[in-house]
């Protein structure tokens, strides 16, 4: 009995339980990644989902679970609205080739599962697409290219739904068209709706490649009304005043450009103002320095002072006089510096003072102690230059 039960479990694991729908074989190039959708029944919405790796169910090991933190290589997400959990395997290597199981954990019972085979190759995969994740807008169309190097009929279908195998067909409300060329089949989906979002499969031979489609509303652009006319609604007119008074709206991008232009103008004006202030301060500082230098400089003139030398007698009426009657007069001559000579300091050589002494001498051989004017024949003058320290005033 136990042997029969074991055989039943093995057969069940190999055939799978149809409560889960997924791919059967997937081919991926080494170094890439792949996402595998697993469709489950509504009664398993709140159950734990997981991916198990191994050639048979009994010995497979859990790779990732929805109630546990995903690892770096494996990740899992559960869309409970569409009842699809998706497992993603990254950084694929050749040793990742093997069997995997999409499974739903059943408390106090046998887990629900379905296996698929993953083939990782260095060569061109047997069946692949440009991108597994594509987006479209309501009412428009999209094109998906399925590349292949295997024989067989090309099929396109929604996971868990009907297939399109002819040149054209429809899946629910969306129309699909398949065009075939060597090694590539192009699927065109037109008349997209939000309900068209979901997982689809390129199917050729024994291989499938999942493609996830997301359909959203196309963003609307705001137009600018040319004029706004305000009129008073007339009785019986079906056109309302609000229709006649269409408000002019400005596109978001134009408003953004206008704001950017205003900010730029403000910044440039501020920069010009700062430059003017700096130049004014520099000019005033320079002018102040020049004024200070002019005030500290001295201006002098070169003047020669001539001194009149006269005979000085004690009485103007006497015609004869002695040595004591003759006075000596000292005269000082100062040479001043010329104008436009600016100096802030002076040395000993800056100011010269000349002292001159004039003495009336008696001629040689004259022994008398008094003499008349006619006796004075020679006048000797001695001039001595002396340096005096002096600085110009001011």
Does the pLDDT of residue 57 top 70, yes or no? yes
Q: Are 2-121 and 127-216 in the same CATH fold?
A: yes
Of 51-65, 82-96, 185-199, 318-332, minimum mean pLDDT range: 318-332
Query: Which of 156-165, 218-227, 324-333, 357-366 reaches the highest mean pLDDT?
Result: 156-165
Q: What is the mean pLDDT of residues 124-132?
A: 95
CB environment 311-332: b (16+ within 10 A), e (fewer): eeeeeeeeeebeeebbeeeebe
What average pLDDT score do residues 155-177 get? 70
The mean per-residue pLDDT over the stretch 377-389 comes to 52
SS (H, E, C) the chain: CHHHHHHHHHHHHHHCCCCEECCCEEEEECCCCEEEEEEECHHHCCCCEEEEECCCCCCCEEEEECCCCCCCCEEEEEECCCCEEEEEECCCCHHHCEEEEEEECCCCCCCEEEEEEEEEECCCCCEEECCCEEEEECCCCEEEEEEECCCCCEEEEECCCCEECCCEEEECCEEEEEEEECCEEEEEEECCCHHHCEEEEEEECCEEEEEEEEEECCCCCCCCCCCCCCCCCCCCCCCCHHHHCCCCCCCHHHHHHHHHHHHHHHHHHHHHHHHHHHHHHHHHHHHHHHHHHHHHCCCCCCCCCCCCCCCCCCCCCCCEEEHHHCCCEEEEEECCCCCCCCCCCCCHHHCEEEEEEEEEECCCCCCCCEEEHHHCCEEEEEEEEEECCCCCCC
**Model confidence, pTM:** 0.52
CATH of the structural domain 2-121, one choice from 2.60.40.10, 3.40.190.10, 2.40.10.350, 2.40.50.140: 2.60.40.10
Residue 7 predicted with pLDDT over 90: no
Domain map (residue ranges) of the chain: 2-121, 127-216, 325-367+375-387
Identify the band that residue 160 occupies on the pLDDT scale cut at 50, 70 and 90.
Answer: confident
pLDDT given at position 34 = 97
Whether 173 shows a pLDDT value over 50: the answer reads no
pLDDT for residue 252: 54
Instruction: Among 41-55, 114-128, 161-175, 206-220, name the one with the lowest average pLDDT.
Output: 161-175
User: So what's the pLDDT on residue 53?
Assistant: 95
**8 A C-beta contact, residue 86 and residue 35:** yes
The answer to whether the Cα torsion of 221, 224, 225, 226 is positive or negative is negative
- Among the four given CATH numbers 2.60.40.10, 1.10.3720.10, 3.90.740.10, 3.20.20.120, the one describing domain 127-216: 2.60.40.10
pLDDT given for residue 21 in this prediction: 95
pLDDT score, position 170: 54
For 165, phi then psi, to 5°, come to: -115, -20
Residues above pLDDT 90, as percent of the chain: 44
Provide mean pLDDT across the span 265-290.
92
86 band by pLDDT with thresholds 50, 70 and 90: very high
Pick the most confident of 176-180, 195-199, 252-256: 195-199
36-45, 86-95, 245-254, 378-387: range with lowest mean pLDDT: 245-254
Are 15 and 24 in contact, with CB atoms under 8 Å apart? Answer: no
Q: How far apart are CA 18 and CA 167, in angstroms?
A: 30
Q: What is the pLDDT of residues 25-50, one digit of tens each?
A: 999 999 999 999 999 999 999 999 99
- Give the pLDDT score at 161: 84
Q: Which of 212, 211, 150, 207 is nearest to 23 (CA)?
A: 207
Q: What letters, b where the CB count within 10 A reaches 16 and e where it falls short, cover 235-248?
A: eeeeeeeeeeeeee
- Average pLDDT of the residues of the chain: 74
Could you give the CA distance from residue 107 to residue 64 in angstroms, rounded to a whole number? 18
| Averaged pLDDT for residues 131-139 | 94
């Amino acid at each position: 009995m136990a042997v029969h039960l074991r055989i039943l479990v093995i057969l069940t694991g190999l055939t799978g339980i149809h409560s889960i729908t997924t791919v059967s074989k997937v081919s991926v190039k080494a170094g890439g990644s792949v996402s595998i959708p697993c469709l489950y029944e509504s009664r398993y919405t709140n159950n734990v989902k997981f991916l198990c790796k191994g050639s048979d169910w009994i010995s497979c090991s859990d790779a990732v679970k929805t109630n546990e933190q995903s690892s770096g290589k494996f990740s899992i997400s559960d869309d409970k609205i569409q009842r699809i959990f998706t497992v993603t395997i990254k950084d694929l290597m050749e040793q990742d080739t093997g069997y995997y199981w999409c499974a739903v954990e059943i408390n106090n019972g046998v887990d629900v599962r379905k296996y698929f085979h993953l083939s990782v190759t260095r060569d061109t995969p047997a069946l692949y697409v440009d991108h597994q994740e594509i987006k479209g807008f309501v009412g428009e169309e999209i094109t998906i290219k399925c590349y292949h190097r295997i024989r067989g009929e090309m099929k396109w279908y929604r996971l868990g739904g009907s297939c399109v195998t002819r040149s054209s067909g429809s899946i629910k409300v969306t129309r699909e068209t398949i065009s075939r060329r060597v090694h590539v089949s192009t699927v065109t989906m037109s008349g997209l709706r939000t309900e068209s979002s979901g997982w689809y499969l390129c199917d050729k031979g024994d291989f499938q490649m999942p493609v996830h489609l997301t359909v959203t509303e196309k963003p609307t652009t705001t137009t600018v009304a040319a004029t706004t006319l305000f009129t008073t609604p007339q009785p019986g007119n079906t056109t309302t005043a609000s229709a006649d008074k269409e408000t002019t709206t400005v596109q978001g991008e134009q408003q953004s450009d206008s704001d950017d232009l205003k900010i730029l103008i403000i910044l440039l004006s501020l920069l010009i103002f700062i430059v003017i202030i700096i130049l004014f301060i520099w000019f005033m500082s320079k002018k102040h320095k020049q004024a200070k230098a002019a005030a500290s400089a001295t201006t002098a003139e070169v003047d020669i002072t001539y001194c009149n030398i006269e005979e000085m007698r004690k009485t103007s009426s006497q015609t004869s006089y002695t040595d004591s009657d003759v006075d000596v007069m000292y005269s000082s001559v100062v040479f001043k510096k010329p104008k436009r000579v600016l100096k802030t300091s002076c040395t000993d050589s800056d100011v010269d003072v000349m002292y001159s002494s004039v003495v009336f001498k008696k001629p040689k051989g004259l022994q008398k102690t008094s003499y008349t004017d006619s006796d004075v024949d020679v006048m000797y003058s001695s001039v001595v230059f002396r340096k005096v320290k002096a600085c110009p005033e001011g």
